Amino acid sequence: QSVLTQPPSVSGAPGQRVTISCTGSSSNIGAGYNVHWYQQLPGTAPKLLIYDDKNRPSGVPDRFSGSKSGTSASLAITGLQAEDEADYYCQSYDSSLSGSYVFGTGTKVTVL
């Protein structure tokens, strides 16, 4: 089961801004471990979107941005486009249970 909590869904009209939260605890995000974000288009494998809290890999539009504070992180999508309709997952490291990688519960973004 996921230890990082995300809202099940968010939606917005084209051009709008949406944000996705990722809430953890003192053994993962709160311990200072970095947060990474993935985009999963329908029927495809996850793709890295943001790494180390706020960095975009080459090729990822600057409409996507990440931030972190305390035990939570956020992904923002500005200028929402139809092609952004997908599932989004956060990921971090957790120092409990002998250490492991943990994912968020996932958020479905719908473009209205």
Name which of 13 and 99 has its Cβ closer to other proteins: 99
Minimum gap (Å) between residue 29 Cβ and other proteins: 12
Pick from 42, 45, 58, 59 the residue near other proteins by CB under 8 A.
Answer: 45
Name which of 8 and 83 has its Cβ closer to other proteins: 8
CA distances from 76 to 4, 12, 33, 43 (A): 17, 12, 20, 23
DSSP-based three-state secondary structure for 30: helix
- Do residues 20 and 6 make contact, with C-beta atoms less than 8 angstroms apart? yes
Q: Does 88 bind other proteins (CB under 8 A)?
A: no
The structure tokens listed for 91 are: 């990921």
Pick from 11, 16, 26, 100 the residue near other proteins by CB under 8 A.
Answer: 100
Other Cβ atoms within 10 Å of 50 Cβ, number: 25
Pick from 36, 39, 84, 86 the residue near other proteins by CB under 8 A.
Answer: 36
